[in-house]
């Protein structure tokens, strides 16, 4: 670990502030959707060929080696993959297989940090590009005070492959600023944690940004800015730290669905739709 949490993390706060946490690879030790390729194939949602392509796409995402153009291709593929999926079927498959395929699930260090922030009186907010219908239950299980997440489009009980709100990059920062205005947070006294350079805008608007297991570009930025660099290395099962309710079964789909839908929103913006 380079740097530390700093003295600002200790003691009761005398102003309203929050700690903002990215989800995948910051709280969760791996890409949640990657582990569910086989169950989705078994449930008839994807073919073996699609499963292998999805696994490769998620691997590229997981190791952080994709540039913007590669990410666009990945999102385009995943958009085609999830379009038409029945929402209830997805939730059923996830509920039935969650305890088999997601282990470990969260970083012990992330849960400990959340507990420390709560002990000082700070709100804990999860800020994720994943869909609200999955981030919400995760936030509830982690006792987060709020979540910021993408909203996936559903028509007649099926995912369309599009999203109505995309919580990504600069939009995360805008959403945090809006929440800070609403809740009266002093952003200079707030904390933020993420692994990805795409979250640089979110990290730059708070007084205490932290890079967690950062990709190479974020590591370079953090070093240049003097931000603490944290290494989370102790993944654990969530139930070993926090009592798990049935709603956690909705956990896994957000990353794949949101990445899949993103390309369509980007295309509509480029076309001026």
Q: 6-65: per-residue pLDDT in tens? A: 445 655 555 799 999 998 889 887 665 555 677 778 888 877 777 766 666 666 555 554
Per-residue model confidence (pLDDT) at position 135: 74
For the segment 105-128, what is each residue's pLDDT rounded down to a tens digit? 789 999 999 999 999 999 999 998
Helix 68-82 vs helix 254-270: crossing angle, to nearest 10: 110
Give the CATH number of the domain where residue 119 resides. Answer: 3.40.50.1000
Domain count, the chain: 1
- Determine how many CB atoms are found less than 10 A away from the CB of residue 157: 10
CA 112 to chain centre: 18
pTM: 0.77
What is the distance between the alpha carbons of residues 114 and 145, in angstroms, rounded to a whole number? 11
The predicted structure's pLDDT at residue 42: 84
pLDDT score, position 191? 98
* Residue 174 domain-assigned (yes or no): yes
Distance CA 157, CA 92 (A): 13
In a domain, 2, yes or no: no
Structural domain contains residue 168 = yes
Tell the burial category of 16 from Cβ atoms under 10 Å away from its Cβ (0-12, 13-18, 19+). middle
* Among 172, 168, 165, CA closest to 209: 172
Q: How does pLDDT run across 131-155, given as a tens digit for each residue?
A: 776 677 778 778 899 999 887 788 9
pLDDT tens digits for 59-94? 655 555 445 565 556 556 666 777 888 888 877 776
Name residue 166's beta-bridge partners. Answer: none
Do the Cβ atoms of 35 and 139 come closer than 8 Å? no
Instruction: Report yes or no on 27 lying in a domain.
Output: yes
d(CA 153, CA 222): 35
Question: Region 195-220: what's the mean pLDDT?
Answer: 94
CA 205, CA 229: separation in Å to the nearest integer? 17
Buried b (16+ CB within 10 A) or exposed e, 116-149: ebeeeebbbbbbbbbbbbbbbbbbebbebebbbb
pLDDT at 170: 93
Q: Which tokens go with 254?
A: 């957000």
- Are 148 and 128 in contact, with CB atoms under 8 Å apart? yes
Is 73 inside any structural domain? Answer: yes
- Nearest residue to 125 via CA among 76, 182, 163, 69: 182
pLDDT at 211: 98
> What is the distance between the alpha carbons of residues 215 and 59, in angstroms, rounded to a whole number?
14
- Domain assignment present for residue 196? The answer is yes
Domain membership flag for residue 1: no
Residues serving a catalytic function are 22, 24
Q: Is residue 127 part of a domain?
A: yes
| SS3 assignment, position 195 | coil
Domain with 211, as residue range(s), is 7-270
Rounded CA-CA distance 60/51 in Å is 14
* SS3 state at 125: strand
Instruction: Give the other-Cβ count within 10 Å of 179's Cβ.
Output: 17
* Among candidate residues 260, 225, 229, 238, the one with its CA nearest the CA of residue 61: 260
């Amino acid at each position: 670990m380079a740097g530390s949490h700093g003295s600002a993390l200790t003691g009761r706060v005398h102003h309203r502030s929050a700690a903002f946490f990215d989800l995948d690879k910051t709280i969760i030790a791996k890409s949640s959707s990657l582990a569910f390729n086989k169950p989705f194939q078994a449930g008839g949602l994807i073919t073996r060929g699609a499963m292998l392509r999805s696994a490769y796409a998620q691997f590229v995402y997981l190791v952080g080696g994709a540039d913007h153009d590669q990410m666009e291709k990945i999102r385009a593929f995943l958009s085609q993959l999830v379009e038409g999926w029945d929402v209830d079927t997805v939730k059923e498959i996830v509920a039935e297989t969650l305890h088999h395929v997601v282990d470990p699930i969260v970083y012990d260090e992330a849960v400990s940090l959340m507990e420390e922030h709560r002990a000082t009186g700070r709100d804990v907010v999860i800020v994720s590009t994943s869909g609200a219908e999955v981030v919400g239950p995760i936030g509830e299980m982690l006792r987060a005070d709020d979540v910021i997440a993408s909203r996936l489009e559903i028509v007649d009980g099926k995912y369309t492959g599009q999203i109505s709100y995309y919580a990504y990059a600069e939009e995360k920062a805008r959403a945090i600023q809006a929440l800070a205005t609403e809740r009266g947070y002093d952003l200079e006294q707030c904390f933020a944690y993420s692994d990805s350079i795409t979250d640089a805008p979110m990290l730059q608007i708070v007084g205490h940004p932290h890079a967690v297991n950062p990709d190479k570009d974020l590591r370079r930025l953090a070093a240049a800015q003097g931000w603490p660099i944290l290494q989370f290395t102790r993944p654990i099962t969530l139930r070993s730290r926090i009592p798990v309710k049935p709603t956690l079964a909705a956990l896994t789909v957000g990353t794949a669905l949101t990445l899949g839908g993103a390309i369509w929103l980007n295309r509509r913006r480029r076309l001026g739709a």
